């Protein structure tokens, strides 16, 4: 017996749940599958996100907001802090409880008519005449096939859906940040602010973070470039960071993960197929933030998929409308974040210290990469050659 849906979404993270809901809202019959038995768990995220980014997609709910922060602090390799408080937030605002947030997004999709199946893993695609026509899935050891007008691959960093359709989603070692994180309890942690620690000693090509989660707890984590890491290094560095800076902390949870930090990826659609979220490398290469982008891309992809179904044209050309809209919305900032990151990772600790010192005393109006770059240039006119193409 073969089943059929208009749209099958693979992966119930933020990208998948929002894409499924968007398609269902436009009248499509949608199936959302998730290989894990519990949506949202284990978490692979520091859970920080701008408030507006959440509000664009779902009404805030205290059950999945762990903390609200009023600013952030960047600490240079020599310990000089740069603090921005009470300004409008481009990058942070909420620290989520993603176990509950991801589940809330999925149940919202269900309320819009989406069918969800957990512990159901995509293991291949159905194809005919080169086009994707459905998904082969496995549930409790049994395989079955589901036909679909459009398949949306929202299967995260470990994405296979794109590869099956001939889209190369592999990450080079220099294009992945490898991370370790602990949820710690320590009353000494400043709960009002998200903190970032830079430096090649702390995290080569990346940074360490402390994001408050309320109840005297925080996500303390660290990510470094894959090309500068080695088996086990992120966890070793994180243990050192925690024992040096938070020696009294109790560790309540441990998790690991990878974030794509590649150049923005083009060619994320094929006949009958779209990729969204980490599967399409849509996270910011500079901050590693990917929740907001995953949701924004999911909303576009779901809507375009439903419209394409209604038009009975699910060709690559038709589905490319999603990719065009996505790049209109985020292409410029994604590219800029990637270029800034490529330059930052080449800096020595002395250069980083110099840049951070030059920003002391600046009154920031907005917590935004662009704003930081503008002030960097004002204080370091000699950097014009380094920055001019980014502003």
Question: Which residues have a Cβ under 8 Å from the Cβ of 207 and sit 6 or more positions away?
Answer: 196, 197, 198, 222, 223
- Residue 70 marked ligand-binding: no
Q: Does a cis peptide bond (omega within 30 degrees of 0) precede residue 35?
A: no
179 near ligand FAD, rule: CB under 6 A: yes
- Residue 98 marked ligand-binding: yes
243 near another protein, rule: CB under 8 A: no
Instruction: Kindly state the tokens that stand for 92.
Output: 């942070």
141 near another protein, rule: CB under 8 A: no
- Residue 237 marked ligand-binding: no
Cβ–Cβ under 8 Å, residues 134 and 153 = no
Cβ–Cβ under 8 Å, residues 219 and 183 = yes
Cβ–Cβ under 8 Å, residues 15 and 276 = yes
The pattern of x and - marking residues 146 through 165 that bind another protein according to CB under 8 A reads ----------xxxxx--x--
Question: Which residues have a Cβ under 8 Å from the Cβ of 112 and sit 6 or more positions away?
Answer: 21, 24, 25
134 near ligand FAD, rule: CB under 6 A: no
Q: Which of 49, 104, 183, 220 binds ligand FAD (CB under 6 A)?
A: 49
Question: Which residues have a Cβ under 8 Å from the Cβ of 372 and sit 6 or more positions away?
Answer: 359, 364
Count the residues in the chain. 391
The pattern of x and - marking residues 177 through 196 that bind another protein according to CB under 8 A reads -xxx----------------
Q: Which of 153, 206, 226, 290 binds another protein (CB under 8 A)?
A: 226
The pattern of x and - marking residues 227 through 246 that bind ligand FAD according to CB under 6 A reads --------------------
205 near ligand FAD, rule: CB under 6 A: no
Residue 234 interaction partner, one of another protein, ligand FAD, none, beta carbon < 5-8 Å per kind: another protein
- Residue 49 marked ligand-binding: no
Rounded distance, CA 11 to CA 44, Å?
14
Instruction: Kindly state the tokens that stand for 226.
Output: 């894959």
Rounded distance, CA 196 to CA 309, Å?
44
HSE at residue 284, side-chain half, CA atoms within 13 A, is 22
**Quick one: 191 or 380, whose CB is closer to ligand FAD?**
191
Q: Which of 78, 173, 214, 250 binds another protein (CB under 8 A)?
A: 173
- Residue 59 marked ligand-binding: no
Q: How many residues form the binding site for another protein (CB under 8 A)?
A: 36
Stretch that binds ligand FAD, among 272-280, 304-312, 319-327, 359-367 (CB under 6 A): 272-280
208 near ligand FAD, rule: CB under 6 A: no
Q: Contacts with ligand FAD in 282-301 (CB under 6 A)?
A: 283, 288-292, 294
Instruction: Kindly state the tokens that stand for 127.
Output: 């194809």
State in angstroms the smallest separation of the CB of 219 from ligand FAD: 8
Residue 199 interaction partner, one of another protein, ligand FAD, none, beta carbon < 5-8 Å per kind: none
Cβ–Cβ under 8 Å, residues 298 and 154 = yes
- Residue 15 marked ligand-binding: yes
Rounded distance, CA 365 to CA 9, Å?
40
Q: Which of 15, 167, 171, 307 binds ligand FAD (CB under 6 A)?
A: 15
- Residue 71 marked ligand-binding: no
For residue 228, the tally of other CB atoms under 10 A from its CB is: 16
Rounded distance, CA 91 to CA 292, Å?
10
268, 271, 272, 269: which is closest to 281 by C-alpha? 268
Could you give the 3-state DSSP secondary structure of residue 387?
A: helix
DSSP assignment string, 193-223: -EEEEE-TTTSTTSEEEEEEEETTEEEEEEE
Q: Which of 21, 103, 121, 368 binds ligand FAD (CB under 6 A)?
A: 121
**Residue list for the binding site:** 15, 34, 45-46, 48, 98, 122, 278, 290-291, 369
Q: Which residues of this chain interact with ligand FAD, rule CB under 6 A?
A: 10-16, 33-36, 44-49, 121-122, 154-158, 160, 179, 181, 221, 257-259, 277-279, 283, 288-292, 294
Q: Which residues of this chain interact with another protein, rule CB under 8 A?
A: 35-37, 42, 44, 119, 121, 156-160, 163, 169-173, 176, 178-180, 226, 229-235, 254-258, 260
């Amino acid at each position: 017996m073969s089943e059929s849906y208009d749209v099958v979404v693979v992966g119930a993270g933020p990208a998948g749940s929002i894409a499924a809901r968007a398609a269902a809202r436009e009248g499509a019959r949608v199936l959302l599958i998730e290989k894990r038995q519990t949506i949202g768990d284990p978490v692979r995220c520091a859970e920080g996100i701008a408030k507006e980014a959440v509000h664009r997609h779902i009404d805030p709910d205290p059950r999945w907001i762990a903390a609200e922060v009023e600013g952030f602090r960047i600490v240079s390799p020599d310990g000089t802090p740069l603090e921005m408080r009470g300004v409008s937030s481009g990058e942070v605002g909420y620290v989520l409880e993603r176990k509950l947030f991801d589940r809330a997004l999925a149940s919202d999709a269900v309320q819009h008519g989406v069918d969800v199946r957990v512990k159901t893993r995509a293991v291949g695609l159905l194809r005919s005449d080169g086009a994707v026509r459905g998904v082969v899935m496995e549930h409790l050891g049994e395989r079955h096939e589901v036909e679909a007008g459009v398949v949306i691959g929202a299967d995260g960093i470990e994405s296979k859906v794109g590869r099956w359709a001939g889209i190369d989603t592999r990450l080079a070692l220099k294009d992945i940040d490898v991370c370790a994180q602990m949820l710690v309890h320590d009353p000494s942690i400043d709960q009002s602010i998200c903190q970032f620690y830079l430096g090649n000693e702390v995290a080569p090509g990346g940074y360490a973070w402390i994001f408050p989660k309320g109840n005297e707890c925080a996500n303390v984590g660290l990510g470094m470039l894959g090309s500068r890491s080695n088996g086990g290094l992120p966890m070793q560095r994180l243990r050192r960071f925690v024992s040096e800076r938070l020696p009294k902390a109790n560790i309540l949870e441990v998790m690991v993960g990878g974030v794509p930090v590649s150049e923005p990826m083009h060619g994320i659609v094929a006949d009958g197929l779209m990729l969204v979220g980490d599967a399409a490398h849509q996270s910011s290469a500079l901050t590693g933030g990917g929740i907001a982008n995953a949701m924004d891309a999911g909303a576009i992809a779901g809507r375009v998929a439903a419209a394409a179904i209604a038009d009975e044209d699910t060709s690559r050309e038709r589905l490319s409308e999603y990719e065009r809209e996505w790049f209109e919305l985020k292409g410029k900032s994604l590219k800029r974040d990637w270029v800034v990151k490529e330059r930052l990772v080449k800096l020595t600790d002395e250069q980083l210290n110099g840049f951070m010192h030059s920003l002391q005393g600046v009154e920031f109006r907005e917590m935004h990469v662009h704003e930081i770059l503008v002030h960097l240039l004002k204080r370091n006119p000699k950097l014009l050659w380094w920055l001019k193409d980014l502003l």
